[in-house]
């Protein structure tokens, strides 16, 4: 994750707002923005880390409750 993040948007009344964050707060902003875009943690993984996670998901008891 980047150490600095800038998020732009609008308040409930339509006024523009910009939020700057650094360090841990920047990571939080990026994490929440991922949710807005429909992304989750697994979407950022590649290679063996992604394969390992997918194997764990396939073996999990909560997935088999279909």
Which carries the bigger pLDDT value, residue 48 or residue 62?
48
32 is catalytic: yes
Residue 65 has pLDDT above 60, yes or no: no
pTM attached to this predicted model: 0.69
Q: CA-to-CA distance for 38 and 32, rounded, in angstroms?
A: 10
Q: CA-to-CA distance for 47 and 53, rounded, in angstroms?
A: 10
| pLDDT tens, residue by residue, 19-61 | 999 999 999 999 999 999 999 989 999 999 999 999 999 998 8
Residue 64 has pLDDT above 90, yes or no: no
The pLDDT confidence band at residue 1, using thresholds 50, 70 and 90, is confident
Pick the catalytic residue: 8, 32, 37, 66?
Answer: 32
Q: 33-36: which pairs have CB atoms within 8 A and are 24 or more residues apart?
A: 33/5, 33/7
Instruction: Give the pLDDT of residue 28.
Output: 96
């Amino acid at each position: 994750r980047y150490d600095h993040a800038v998020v732009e948007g609008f308040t409930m009344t339509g006024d523009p707002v910009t939020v700057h964050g650094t360090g841990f707060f920047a990571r939080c902003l990026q994490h929440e923005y991922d949710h807005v875009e429909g992304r989750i943690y697994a979407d950022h993984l590649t290679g063996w880390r992604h394969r390992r996670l997918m194997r764990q998901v396939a073996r999990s008891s909560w997935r088999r409750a279909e």
